[in-house]
Amino acid sequence: MQQGKVVAVCVSPEKGGRKKDVGQGVLVTGFGLEGDGHGGDWHRQVSLLAIESIDKMRAKGLDVGPGDFAENLTTSGVDLYHLPVGTRLQFAGGPLLEISQIGKVCHERCAIYYQAGDCVMPREGVFAIVLEGGPVHSGDDIQVILAPQGPRL
């Protein structure tokens, strides 16, 4: 079973911009991260991006870190964008997320794209809904519960 850690918990009152690492937060069932503009009753309540993906942009010379790609949760040790939709992520403090979308279409190029000619979030970021809420902190363990792959023949 794959395991990882929370590197950062990031929020912003508005959608679409960089988020600030606040170190901890509360995931609210059916909404998202408390105080974040991305929350709501829809399929992209929480955004996640691996620090390993951010490191790819750093290798291109960008001075970027957690929250700069507008992700709520920065993780380490979990190959997020290869997990199938329906995979669940159980956090140490109790919250349970379910991956609802892998990547996204960027209709407008972000500042990161213009700086580097590329942005990793549309390809490697994932989105989730909050099935069970609770506190989340930097350093919390994440357990990956793979989605069922259908009936075995």
Average pLDDT, rounded, for the chain: 86
Using the predicted structure, report yes or no on whether residue 147 has a pLDDT greater than 90: no
| C-alpha triplet 149, 106, 21: angle, nearest 5° | 85
Contact 7, 78 (CB under 8 A): no
Query: Which segments within the chain are labelled E, that is strand?
Result: 3-11, 20-21, 24-28, 32-33, 46-50, 73-76, 88-91, 96-102, 126-132, 134-137, 141-145
Domain ranges of the chain: 3-145
28-77: per-residue pLDDT in tens?
999 999 999 989 999 999 999 999 988 988 888 878 899 988 899 999 99
Using the predicted structure, report yes or no on whether residue 109 has a pLDDT greater than 90: no
70-96: per-residue pLDDT in tens?
899 999 999 998 999 999 999 998 999
Provide the CATH topology of domain 3-145. Answer: M1 Pyruvate Kinase; Domain 3 (2.40.33)
Is the model's pTM score more than 0.85?
A: yes
Q: What's the pLDDT score for residue 103?
A: 76
